[in-house]
Structure formats: structure tokens, C-alpha cells
A and B are shown apart, each in its own frame.
Chain A
Amino acid sequence: MRKVYAVIVALALGSVGALLSSQAFTADEDVHVAWVDAEPGRPATVDGQSLEIERVTFAEAAVQDGDDEAEPAGNVFLVLEYRAWSEQREGYLTDPVLRTGDGTVYTPVGVAGATTAVAFPAPGFTEYGQLLFDVHPDHLEGAQLVDDPSTGFIVYEARRRIDLRLDRSAVRLPQIRPEVVVVRSRTEVTS
């Protein structure tokens, strides 16, 4: 009889473990994650929600649209102009990060009113915005924008990974603009 109970307990624990592990995957780097790969000009889509990097540029400073005073970068600003949309329903905000080839992780900076999160609006709308990262040029080789759509309640076992096609020469002068004008994210009807 003890064996019987042992089997039941083991299976029950296994079931609970399996449930919990599906959440652990999102916290654990690269384990059981299905990567949705893309590059600038091509959308990365998870569950009908798409993120596309339209333009990659660099700037020494950022100034808010309508403002006079520019905020200088610690090193250099990597500016990603993006658009985001959904096929079926409004998505949750995501917090993308920049991961470079040597493992350095940058989070977006909110200077000059820049957004640090991406919104996926309801069907027929598209959000346009800019993400700024204050990056060290020597750490940029192989940089990818990584975006995890999971939230505290909804867990996806897929993440977006957009290869920015950067190498060290990408940030050599004179490709760096003196400043970038940061415009507030906007949502437009696109279909």
C-alpha cells in the first residue's frame, strides 16, 4: 500500500513540477525557448504580435522633440526605430533588451522622453517608436534585440530575437549623428 501512495505522490509532484517548470523556462536563459529570429526590415512575430526594427542609427546625444537641450550619451546612443502591431488582440507591454555577442546586456534608456517598452496595439493599429540604448562601441559586435512577450500571468515559450547586423565598424565616425530627435511613440491606423 505504501508503494501505491508513493507512486501517487511522485506523479502528483511531477505534474506540479511540470507546470512550474513551464514558467521557469522564461527566467532561465535559452532553456526550452523557441527563438523567433528576424533582422531589421523583417518582423519577428509571436502569437500574432509582431515587432519590426525599421532603422538602426547612432547618435552622440538625444533631444526631445520640441526641446532645445540635448542629453549627451555616456558612450553612444544606439537608436532603434521600430513598429509593432497585433493581428487579433492588443498585446501586453514588453521590455526588450539589447544583448551583444560577448554577453553584455543593455536595457533601453528613457532619456529625452524615449520609451523603454514596446506596446502592441489592437488590430488595425500600428505603434511607431524609438528605443535608445547607451552602448559601448566595443561591445556591439553581434548585437541582438531580445524581446520576451511573457508577463507575470501569460507565459510564452517563444521570444523574439532580432539580429541588428552590427560589427565594430558600425559605429565608426562619421556614421554617428550629433544628435537624435526623440519623438513620442505614436499609434496610427494602418489597415
Chain B
Amino acid sequence: MRRALVLAVTLVVVVGLLTAEARWQYDGHTVLNRDPEIPLATPVTIGGTTFELLDSWTSSKPLVKPKDKWDEPAPPPAGAIYLVTHLRITDPDAGDRSDNVACYEQSAITRDGKRWPAESYVAGRERPTICAGEDDYPLRSGQPHTLEWVFVVPQTYAKDVYAVQAEVIEPGQVGRQRTFLLR
């Protein structure tokens, strides 16, 4: 009887912890936050794939390339700025995989928990703004693959943004939240 009680209590505790964890993750936390923050321009290899945040810069002007013909220049909303970052992914075995590396849920974050999602489209930008592995931007074995993430952040908070966080799906594993420092 005692053994049964122990088992039952354990079961209840596990179920409770799983529920709390799901909620906690939704709030922007993760048990994986304990992973070290990755400095700017520092390659880190995760599951055989190398990630590197190449640069970060801000702009209050439209992000349009000189040769663009089709897109109207689109400045950020009044009172906000564009925060532009580039992430390079290199996967030596991409061609051999059926499950590609992918990233989603990119956010610009502050230390006090504020977060801004990456824009899915910015006028005039041609770089892939979603992660590798999509049909349009397939990873190729050993070839660097550069992604551009653009965030629209109110000027008031721009100085407080210290990193971008991305959910990185490693081949054959669950998503892991990685924090790339901006400076």
C-alpha cells in the first residue's frame, strides 16, 4: 500500500510539474535558459550545425536595397526603429538529412522580459527572414546560409534590447531556445 501511495504521489507531482513547465515556457522562459548566452560574432556548434550571429544594427529609415524596383520604401512606424540582425548557419551534413535545421519564434528581448517578434516580411528585403530548411532556402551541405531577422522596436526600449532569442530545432531533437547577444 505504501508503495502504491509513493507511486501515485510521484505521478501527481510529475503531472503538476509538466503543467507548470508548459505555462512557464509560454511566458518566455525555458529550462534551457541555463544554456550560456552566445556572444556576437562567435560561432557555436549545436548538434553538428554551426550558428553565428554576424551583426546587429538599427535604422530609422526604410530598409531598401539600392537596386530594388518593386517595393515601396517602408520606414518603421513613427517612434520605432528597425533592429536588423544576420544569423549564419552552416550544416556540413544538410544534404544527408531528411529533417532540416529550422528556427522559429525569434524575439528581440530585454532583461526585464519584454520581447518583440521578428517581422515575417519587410519591404525591399530579399534575404530569407525565416530559418533554414524551407523549400525556398534549402540548406546545402557545408555552405553557409545567412538569415536576416528584422525586429520593429519602440525607440524608448531600443537601448534595453540586449539579445535575440531563437528556438532552434536540432535534427532529431526537440526545440532549444538559444540566446544570441547583440553586442
Contact = CB atoms under 8 A, between A and B. Distances in A.
Nearest to B81: A189
B113 interface: yes
A89 B155 CA distance: 16
B118 to A, nearest CB: 11
Contact of B154 (A5, A12, A18, A189): A189
Contacts, number: 75
A12 B113 contact: no
B89 to A, nearest CB: 25
B77 interface: yes
A156 to B, nearest CB: 10
Interface string A13-31: 0111011001000000000
Interface residues of A, number: 28
Contacts of A187: 77
B78 A8 contact: no
A12 B11 contact: yes
Interface of A: 3-5, 7-8, 11-12, 14-16, 18-19, 22, 87-90, 122-125, 153-154, 187-191
A4 B1 contact: yes
B154 A191 contact: yes
B4 A15 contact: no
A39 to B, nearest CB: 28
Contacts of A19: 15, 19
Contact of A89 (B5, B7, B115, B156): B115
Contact of B117 (A14, A122, A154, A191): A122
B28 interface: yes
Interface of B: 1, 3-5, 7-8, 11-12, 15, 19, 26, 28, 77-80, 107, 113-117, 152-157
B156 A191 contact: yes
A17 to B, nearest CB: 10
A15 B11 contact: yes
Contact of A124 (B5, B12, B107, B153): B153
6 contacts: A4-B1, A22-B19, A124-B153, A124-B156, A125-B80, A190-B79
A3 B115 contact: no
Contacts of A191: 154, 156
Contacts of B116: 90, 122-123
Nearest to A12: B11
B158 to A, nearest CB: 10
A18 B28 CA distance: 25
A32 B79 CA distance: 41
A16 B154 contact: no
